[in-house]
Amino acid sequence: YQRVLKRGDRDLRVEVGPPEASEAKVALYNKHLETRGLSSNGTRTDLQGYRHFLVESCCESFELRYYHGDQLIGVAITDRGAESLSAVYCYYDTDYSRYSLGTYSILKQLQLCRSWGMRFLYLGLYVDECEAMAYKARFFPHERLIRGSWRRFETP
């Protein structure tokens, strides 16, 4: 993970701010869904749908914005609790896959957890059968609900 962090820190600019909707973010979000095969029947999100899904929240939220030069190439929506952060959703331009922006984003969120004295970063539920969620099992330690009991995994 150190190489991912070094490469991103060297070439990218990261901004932290409140979640905001814009046409540029909606276009990037839709491109992400389409190129990753996550769009159902070619459906596209509009500005209102984006606001509803990623901006309006019942808790304190912020976004990490990733730039290559002046180009917005990724956004990570994050909720903030009393002692944890929760990685809500991350989307990015797959043309910049050399930066492993999904992994880079988790590493940046972990850095924020440490600097803000947070105890946990929640990546959300892991569903073994869902290929899009496979990345969650690569980060340790983590817990999994197996046959009704929580089991902690310390190492790969």
pLDDT at 120: 93
Do residues 85 and 78 touch, judged by C-beta distance below 8 A? yes
pLDDT at 26: 97
Following DSSP, what letter does each residue of 72-111 receive, concatenated? EEEEEEEEE-SSEEEEEEEEE-GGGGGG-HHHHHHHHHHH
Residue 39 pLDDT more than 80? no
Alpha-carbon distance 56 to 122, whole Å? Answer: 19
pTM (two decimals): 0.89
What integer is the mean pLDDT of 81-93?
95
Strand partners, 61: 79
When the pLDDT of each residue in the chain is averaged and rounded to a whole number, the result is 92
Q: What domains sit in the chain, N to C, each tagged with a CATH number? A: 2-124 (3.40.630.30), 125-156 (no CATH)
